[in-house]
Amino acid sequence: MIEKMSHTSVYVLDQDSAKEFYTTKLGFEVRNDIVMGDAFEGGGKGFRWLTVSPPGQPDVEFILADPHMGHAPEDAKVILELVAKGALGVGVLATNDCRKSYQELSDKGVVFLQEPVERPYGVEATFRDDSGNVYSLTEALWQEKRDQSG
């Protein structure tokens, strides 16, 4: 039986730049930053296993993945092109105050595609990471109700 999600892949254009963005701008923490041996990827190159997590959620790791890891060169090229043009929406990041988080992240240089707006499900803003991946930053109505109930 599946118990929970532990990792999710986020393809990035440059792992060093992504590490800097996710840690200094988003406030995530590095969980792993190791190079795996050539047994995983032929030719003696290996690959870098770089994971980060929001500070309050260490049990879910974002793999800041080089598209070449596990893909043929022609497939990696397509993934890189899709990431760079912002064609991949990665997911939703939860916050208990979207407007405050929007201001804090904007002050750190995060580029938003949309300022916070009221939606039927809560308050949402969208931004791109330094590679082009799109995230929704959402203060969900269910979060507000849960906070009020104790």
Q: What does pLDDT average to in each consecutive run of 10 residues of the chain (150 residues)?
A: 94 97 98 79 70 94 93 94 90 96 98 97 96 96 58
Q: Are residues 80 and 94 in the same domain?
A: no
Which domain covers residue 64, as residue numbers?
1-85
Q: According to the model, what pLDDT value does residue 145 have?
A: 52
Supply the CATH number for residue 134's domain.
3.30.720.110
Q: Are residues 2 and 65 in the same domain?
A: yes
The pTM is what?
0.87
Hey, which residues does 51 pair with through a beta bridge? Answer: 32, 63
Q: Are residues 144 and 108 in the same domain?
A: yes
DSSP state of 110: P
Pairing of strands 89-94, 111-119: unpaired
- For residues 128 and 134, is the Cβ–Cβ distance under 8 A? yes
- Tell me the C-alpha distance between 134 and 54, whole Å: 17
The number of domains in the chain is: 2
Pairing of strands 61-65, 7-11: parallel
Task: Please name the residue that has the structure tokens 């949402």.
Answer: 124
Q: According to the model, what pLDDT value does residue 119 have?
A: 96
Q: According to the model, what pLDDT value does residue 13 have?
A: 96
DSSP state of 46: -
Q: Are residues 70 and 95 in the same domain?
A: no
- Tell me the C-alpha distance between 142 and 122, whole Å: 8
Q: Are residues 6 and 62 in the same domain?
A: yes
